[in-house]
């Protein structure tokens, strides 16, 4: 379980970093999305990987087996903020495309 | 019962939040009413922030506000000590002239300027006041999201291009921030800064390494914001293309990174085996930033770029002083932070006025209006309202004052601040104690940076004011020049009252240099349910 999670985070981070270094805006935004998924999984992972455990104390729940609720709350916030900023970046990307007629991150087209 | 004055701590966040949200419901067409609401809120904010300064001075650090009446390790707290009060006051004081300036012209160059501006203020104040790492992230994002909108305000290809780079860099920085925060949480089990300060010195060695890795990643996120040298290449282009009032308030944003770094290094890494962690990076990174900024200032032709590189000079100086971990120099650095932020704010606004008569500024404005089609008839091309008499003389005096302040010449506050810093670094009065090598290097670089700024600004000033080819005098409204003169008057006041100001900074640095004061104050602020009032009063609490 831990191994699968770490490999997933690692692969997504590697792809994300490669993509944000590419010259096209679309690649950059996909790279940023992949990176944010990786980071979200990472936040989730720091609470300890547990399955089928309750995040709240109740009857018959021992403290040692509790799933840490804080990273879950953090990851929710991070997802929401990530959505908002990605949407905003998309708008800027489209504006840049409209103004420069190119999807290069520096606004210059290397074909023409 | 919490004293009524305690509730004041929430106002710097609540006022901009409510105003910004409320302004969304007023249609853009009713520009005057929007402007008035925004102006009123900003005035209130400035007054409240000055009240908070008084509050932080008289009470012996009791400005801890448990939000929702939950105690510190589990709930979220706002913490007002002298340092955060100072930063909130700086925000309030700078925000007021900037918004007055924007009312003359720029606020109508795009949609929702006032809402975004208020949200930016909310994010800034929240980041200064919060006592919790994750809340810091949230306020940081509020600030950044508003700043994305503001940077694009006025639109045009240059701004969109710089804005895209800015957003991409800051999104990546936000991800690093999250990685850092979650690593710190995973190793220490807490996100409250006061709790972290207590747990980090007693951390087991195997966890310590991970925690330090997390803190380093977190630090990178703040260093990107503060513009430390290899992480700062986005900054000059973003700051120099933003419209004038936005660039002026952005100078404050780079100080957020500096503030957090100062707060966290003092709080988390002043005791225990991790003491001094990262200070070398701050020191040498700061020196490199200072050198880079100095070269940039000399190499720049456009005034706005000189301003942007001056932001880097200011950041570099502050980071290096924080890295030296010298308390006397740090209080000088706080004075320098105050003075340089105000000056740069005024400088960015002044640049726009000076360049208005020249082609470059006019063409950007024309492009702006062309792109933002429907605003054509809204943006006044012609002067509306009283213009300034003796425009060139006024602009020249303001420009000279800015140059004196930025290069740190007497008699204004830039000199006083640098003098305090440098004398603390060289170590006057203590005979036989030799200043360290890095400190001397910093002294040399600060002086060189001042000289370079002076050269660059004299050159630019001569070109603009004395040997202007076209000889056209830009039309300048009273409403635009008065905010700049207001800020410059403030720096003059800061020069005259440098003694009391420095005492305040000394007390602020003393408070943050002792993490136990901070932690104990946060722990004391336990939740107080109303039903416990009587018993608490009975026990003399």
User: Model confidence over B276-319: pLDDT tens digits?
Assistant: 788 888 889 999 999 999 999 999 888 888 999 999 999 999 99
What's the pLDDT score for residue A36? 92
Backbone angles phi, psi at B80, to 5 degrees: -115, 105
pLDDT for B109-160, tens place per residue? 777 888 999 999 999 999 999 988 888 999 999 999 899 888 888 777 888 8
> How large a percentage of chain B has pLDDT more than 90?
27
User: B367-388 burial string, b = 16+ CB within 10 Å, else e?
Assistant: bbbebbeebeeeeeeeeeeebb
pTM metric for this prediction: 0.88
Span A47-74, average pLDDT: 79
Nearest Cβ partner for A85 among B156, B161, B171: B171
pLDDT for B227-248, tens place per residue? 888 888 888 888 888 888 899 9
What's the pLDDT score for residue B216? 92
Which residue of B lies nearest to A81 if distances are taken between CA atoms?
A: B141
Whether residues B182 and A42 touch (CB distance < 8 A) is answered with: yes
Whether residues A32 and B157 touch (CB distance < 8 A) is answered with: no
Residue bearing the bigger pLDDT, B69 or A5: A5
What's the pLDDT score for residue B527? 64
What's the pLDDT score for residue B266? 86
Span B8-12, average pLDDT: 88
What's the pLDDT score for residue B429? 53
Instruction: Burial-class residue B487 by CB neighbours within 10 Å (0-12, 13-18, 19+).
Output: buried
Span A56-61, average pLDDT: 76
What's the pLDDT score for residue B467? 72
Q: Measure in Å the smallest separation between the Cα of A5 and chain B Cα atoms.
A: 15
Span B204-216, average pLDDT: 88
Q: For chain A, which domains are there?
A: 2-50+69-100 (1.10.287)
pLDDT for B369-400, tens place per residue? 444 444 444 444 444 556 666 777 888 888 88
Span B93-108, average pLDDT: 86
> Which runs of E-coded beta strand occur in B63-160?
63-66, 77-80
What's the pLDDT score for residue B258? 92
Grade residue A45 by pLDDT with cuts at 50, 70 and 90: confident
Residue bearing the bigger pLDDT, B185 or B278: B185
Whether residues B167 and A35 touch (CB distance < 8 A) is answered with: no
Whether residues A92 and B155 touch (CB distance < 8 A) is answered with: no
Nearest Cβ partner for A20 among B137, B172, B174: B172
Span B475-480, average pLDDT: 79
- Contact criterion met (CB below 8 Å) for B332 and B416: no
> B25-29, B335-339, B389-393, B419-423: which range is least confident on average?
B389-393
What's the pLDDT score for residue B273? 79
What's the pLDDT score for residue B470? 59
Whether the CB of A10 is below 8 Å from some CB of chain B: the reply is no
pLDDT(B526) > 70: no
Whether residues A89 and B172 touch (CB distance < 8 A) is answered with: no
pLDDT(B530) > 60: no
> A92-106, B31-45, B129-143: which range is least confident on average?
A92-106
Q: Using beta carbons and an 8 Å cutoff, which residues of B are at the interface with A? A: 134, 137-138, 141, 144-145, 148-149, 152, 155-157, 160-161, 163-165, 167-168, 171-172, 174-175, 178-179, 181-183, 185-186, 191, 371
Which residue of A lies nearest to B190 if distances are taken between CA atoms?
A: A70
Span B486-511, average pLDDT: 88
| Interface mutation vs chain A, best among B162, B175, B213, most A CBs within 10 Å | B175
Count of C-beta atoms within a 10 Å radius of residue B109? 20
pLDDT for B40-67, tens place per residue? 999 999 999 988 888 888 765 567 888 8
- Contact criterion met (CB below 8 Å) for B509 and B419: no
Residues of chain A with Cβ-Cβ distance to B183 below 8 Å are: 46
Nearest Cβ partner for A95 among B160, B175, B186: B160
Whether the CB of A28 is below 8 Å from some CB of chain B: the reply is yes
Tokens read off for B135: 């809340």
Tokens read off for B235: 């900054």
**Coil, strand or helix at B368:** helix
Whether residues A77 and B138 touch (CB distance < 8 A) is answered with: yes
Greatest alpha-carbon pair distance for chain A in Å reads 70
What secondary structure does DSSP assign to A39-99, as a single string?
A: HHHHHHHHT---SS--SS--TT--GGGPPPHHHHHHHHHHHHHHHHHHHHHHHHHHHHHHH
Q: Closest Cα partner for B90 from B481, B494, B507? A: B494
What secondary structure does DSSP assign to B132-162, as a single string?
A: BHHHHHHHHHHHHHHHHHHHTTT--HHHHHH
Nearest Cβ partner for A92 among B138, B163, B371: B163
pLDDT for B420-476, tens place per residue? 888 888 875 555 566 778 888 888 899 999 999 999 999 888 887 777 655 566 777
Span B9-33, average pLDDT: 88
Q: Measure in Å the smallest separation between the Cα of B4 and chain A Cα atoms.
A: 31
Span B402-406, average pLDDT: 88
**Coil, strand or helix at B233:** coil
What's the pLDDT score for residue A10? 94
Pairing mode, strands B77-80 and B63-66: antiparallel
Which residue of A lies nearest to B180 if distances are taken between CA atoms?
A: A43
ipTM summary value: 0.91
Count of C-beta atoms within a 10 Å radius of residue B490? 19
> How large a percentage of chain B has pLDDT more than 70?
87
Whether the CB of A94 is below 8 Å from some CB of chain B: the reply is no
Mean pLDDT of chain B: 83
Q: Measure in Å the smallest separation between the Cα of A40 and chain B Cα atoms.
A: 8
Report the distance separating Cα B77 and Cα B204, nearest Å: 27
Report the distance separating Cα B370 and Cα A19, nearest Å: 34
A24 forms beta bridges with A104
Nearest Cβ partner for A74 among B134, B141, B163: B134
Which residue of B lies nearest to A49 if distances are taken between CA atoms?
A: B186
Q: What does the domain layout of chain B look like in residue ranges?
A: 4-375+385-525
pLDDT(B358) > 70: no
**Coil, strand or helix at B235:** helix
- Contact criterion met (CB below 8 Å) for B2 and B115: no
């Amino acid at each position: 379980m831990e191994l699968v999670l770490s490999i997933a985070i690692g692969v997504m981070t590697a792809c994300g970093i490669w993509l944000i270094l590419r010259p096209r805006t679309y690649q950059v935004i996909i790279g940023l999305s992949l990176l944010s998924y990786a980071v979200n999984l990472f936040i989730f992972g720091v609470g300890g990987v547990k399955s089928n455990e309750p995040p709240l104390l109740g009857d018959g729940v021992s403290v040692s087996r509790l799933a840490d609720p804080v990273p879950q709350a953090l990851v929710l916030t991070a997802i929401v903020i990530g959505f908002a900023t990605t949407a905003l970046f998309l708008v800027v990307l489209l504006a840049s495309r409209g103004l420069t007629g190119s999807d290069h991150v520096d606004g210059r087209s290397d074909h023409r | 019962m919490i004293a009524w004055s305690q509730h004041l701590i929430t106002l710097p966040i609540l006022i901009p939040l409510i105003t910004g949200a409320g302004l969304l419901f007023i249609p853009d067409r009713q520009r005057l009413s929007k402007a008035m609401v925004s102006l009123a809120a900003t005035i209130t904010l400035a007054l409240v922030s000055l009240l908070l300064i008084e509050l932080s001075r008289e009470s012996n650090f009791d400005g801890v506000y448990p939000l929702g009446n939950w105690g510190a390790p589990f709930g979220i707290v706002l913490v007002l000590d002298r340092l955060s009060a100072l930063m909130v006051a700086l925000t309030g004081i700078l925000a007021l002239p900037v918004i007055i300036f924007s009312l003359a012209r720029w606020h109508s160059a795009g949609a929702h300027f006032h809402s975004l501006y208020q949200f930016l203020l909310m994010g800034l104040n929240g980041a200064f006041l919060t006592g919790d790492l994750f809340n810091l992230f949230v306020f940081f994002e509020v600030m950044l999201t508003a700043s994305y909108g503001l940077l694009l305000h006025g639109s045009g290809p240059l701004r969109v291009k710089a804005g895209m780079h800015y957003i991409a860099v800051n999104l990546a920085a936000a991800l690093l921030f999250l990685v850092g925060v979650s690593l710190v949480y995973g190793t220490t089990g807490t996100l409250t800064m006061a709790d972290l300060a207590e747990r980090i010195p007693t951390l087991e060695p195997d966890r310590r390494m991970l925690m330090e890795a997390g803190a380093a990643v977190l630090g990178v996120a703040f260093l990107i914001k503060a513009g430390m040298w290899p992480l700062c290449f986005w900054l000059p282009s973003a700051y120099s293309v933003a419209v004038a009032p936005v660039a002026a308030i952005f100078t404050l944003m780079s100080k957020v990174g500096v503030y957090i770094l100062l707060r966290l290094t003092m709080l988390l890494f002043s005791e225990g085996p991790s003491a001094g962690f990262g200070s070398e990076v701050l020191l040498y990174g700061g020196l490199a930033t200072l050198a880079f900024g100095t070269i940039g200032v000399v190499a720049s032709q456009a005034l706005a770029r000189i301003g942007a590189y001056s932001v880097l000079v200011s950041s570099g100086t502050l980071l290096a002083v924080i890295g030296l971990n010298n308390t006397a120099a740090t209080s000088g650095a706080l004075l320098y932070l105050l003075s340089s932020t105000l000056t740069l704010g005024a400088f960015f606004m002044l640049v726009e006025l000076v360049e208005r008569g020249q082609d470059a500024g006019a063409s950007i404005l024309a492009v702006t209006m062309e792109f933002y089609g429907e605003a054509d008839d809204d943006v006044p091309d012609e002067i509306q309202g009283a213009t300034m008499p003796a425009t060139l003389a006024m602009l020249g005096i303001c420009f000279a004052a800015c140059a004196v302040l930025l290069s740190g010449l007497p008699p204004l506050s830039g000199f006083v601040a640098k003098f305090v810093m440098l004398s603390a670094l060289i170590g006057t009065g203590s005979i036989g104690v030799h200043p360290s090598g890095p400190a001397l290097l910093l002294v040399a670089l600060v002086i060189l940076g001042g000289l370079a700024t002076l050269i660059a600004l004299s050159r630019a000033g001569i070109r603009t004011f004395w040997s202007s080819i076209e000889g056209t005098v830009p039309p300048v409204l009273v409403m635009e020049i008065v905010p700049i003169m207001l800020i410059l008057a403030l720096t003059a006041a800061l020069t005259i009252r440098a003694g009391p100001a420095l005492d305040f900074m000394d007390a602020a640095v003393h408070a943050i240099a002792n993490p136990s004061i901070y932690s104990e104050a946060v722990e004391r602020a336990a939740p107080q349910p109303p039903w416990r009032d009587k018993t608490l009063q009975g026990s003399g609490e």
